[in-house]
Amino acid sequence: MEMLKLFILLVLTPLAFGLVTWLSSPYQKNSLYQLMSNPLILSTLLISGFLIFLGIDYQQYKFANKPFFFLLDTAIVTLAVPLYQQFFNFKQISKPLLITLIFSAFFASISALGFLFILGSETNNLISLAPKSVTTPIALRISEKIGGDPSMTTGIVVLTGMIGALFGPIIFKKLNIFDDRVKGFILGISAHGIGAAKAFKISQKCGAFATLGLSLTGILTALILPYIIIFIF
Amino acid sequence: MLKGILALLIFQGIGEFIVYLGDMPIPGPVIGMVLLFLTLQARGKKIPESLKVSSRLIIDYLYLLLIPTCVGCFFLVQNHFNQWIYIVASIFVSTLATIALGGLLMKYTLTRHELRSRIKK
């Protein structure tokens, strides 16, 4: 019985994803529908609703879905391939990339901290928020190092990614940004892996730039953020 | 394709092993990615077809792989909703601002950079 339950919880993930993708595919042209029919967000809501309805604990679902967490790690390794394919394009524009990276990585962290500080939050919350734009596995380790709450950091990072991937394309449209290189790089910097997944839906080039953005942001933040936190608090 | 997936798993394993030995703050898969990239660079030839096909397949299903993580986030926010209202608000504002400002900055510096290199030619 226990085995059957785990099996159902595991199959639930691709099943929900398949259903949502199939149902939302006719609406992918329109940008408003596109916002509401993001397969990742819809599947998440569908599965969460299902789990709550049946009173199943998240830990159980997480345990059953271990294969997906493992494959996500494999996917990170895989990102070396588009990175290699686009390497020539990176070298040509390394200077604008570097300027954008340094500004955006700092701004992502500082602006969130500043805003939360104005709203009046505890120091502990502030520290957990700091690595928000960094890809989850790196953010966890940074958070531990600077004394934040790792489970809270995970939530914040994932939420940042979802918001960035959802609203990024709309902002690009409003600001007349049509260059796939800009879109990808910014999505990677601000919304890490989830932003990159969105970028790969735009084009391969866009995805490769997102990969570059997320790797560089992760490394830069891991190296510098601990020292900034010590300096502020 | 099986060969390609096997190669990816090997690099993933090597990455995890290095982190385990060195006790580093960088996650194993990221080390694996860097090593795979350096290997491809060192070979200098075209990417093997099997690796290309399998990487395309995995990247096409990134959304699916991210679902369990996002479900976890949903439960975390749902359980501590009062605390989270402020946090969600500040993430929202700061992420949108970062995308807008970063996008404009890169658009500007990129245009300038490409104009300059065209003039040099």
Per residue, the 3-state secondary structure of chain B, as one string, reads CHHHHHHHHHHHHHHHHHHHHHCCCCCHHHHHHHHHHHHHHHHCCCCCHHHHHHHHHHHHCHHHHHHHHHHHHHHHHHHCHHHHHHHHHHHHHHHHHHHHHHHHHHHHHHHHHHHHHHHHC
Residue B100 backbone phi and psi in degrees, to 5 = -65, -50
Q: What is the pLDDT of residue A185?
A: 93
- Do A86 and A180 sit in the same domain of this protein? yes
Chain B residue with CA closest to A207: the answer is: B59
- Last residue within a domain, chosen from A78, A102, A137: A78
- Do A88 and A159 sit in the same domain of this protein? yes
Cβ distance A217 to A131 under 8 Å? no
- Do A116 and A129 sit in the same domain of this protein? yes
- Last residue within a domain, chosen from A78, A108, A131: A78
CA B72/CA A20 separation, integer angstroms: 19
- Do A150 and A120 sit in the same domain of this protein? yes
Q: B81 and chain A: CB distance < 8 Å anywhere?
A: no
* pLDDT tens readout for residues B47-102: 888 898 998 888 888 888 888 888 887 887 777 777 778 888 888 999 999 999 99
- Last residue within a domain, chosen from A53, A78, A103: A78
Contact (CB<8Å) B11/A77: yes
Q: How would you class A122 by CB atoms within 10 Å of its CB: exposed for 0-12, middle for 13-18, buried for 19 or more?
A: exposed
Q: What is the pLDDT of residue A171?
A: 92
How many distinct structural domains can be found in chain A? 2
* pLDDT tens readout for residues A88-123: 888 888 888 999 999 998 888 888 888 877 877 666
ipTM of the complex: 0.84
Q: Which residue of B75, B77, B94 is the best one to mutate when testing the A interface, meaning the one whose CB has the most A CBs within 10 A?
A: B94
- Do A17 and A113 sit in the same domain of this protein? no
* pLDDT tens readout for residues B12-53: 999 989 888 877 667 788 888 889 989 998 988 788 888 989
**B18 in a domain, yes or no?**
yes
CA A160/CA B90 separation, integer angstroms: 10
CA B43/CA A107 separation, integer angstroms: 38
Task: Indicate the pTM of the whole model.
Answer: 0.81
Cβ distance B53 to A46 under 8 Å? no
CA A104/CA A85 separation, integer angstroms: 25
Quick one: pLDDT band at residue A156, thresholds 50, 70, 90? confident
- Do A107 and A179 sit in the same domain of this protein? yes
- Do A124 and A33 sit in the same domain of this protein? no
- Do A9 and A21 sit in the same domain of this protein? yes
Q: What is the residue range of A160's domain?
A: 80-232
- For helices B62-79 and A150-174, what crossing angle results, to 10°? 120
- Do A62 and A99 sit in the same domain of this protein? no
How many distinct structural domains can be found in chain B? 1
Show Cβ contacts of residue B72 under 8 Å, excluding neighbours closer than 6 positions. A58, A62, A154, A155, A158
pLDDT at B10 exceeding the cut of 90? yes
- Do A116 and A38 sit in the same domain of this protein? no
pLDDT at A187 exceeding the cut of 90? yes
- Report the residue from B29, B84, B88 with minimal CB separation from A73: B29
- Do A130 and A182 sit in the same domain of this protein? yes
- Report the residue from A163, A186, A191 with minimal CB separation from B103: A186
CA B110/CA A117 separation, integer angstroms: 34
Q: Which residue of B80, B104, B107 is the best one to mutate when testing the A interface, meaning the one whose CB has the most A CBs within 10 A?
A: B107
Q: What is the residue range of B54's domain?
A: 1-60
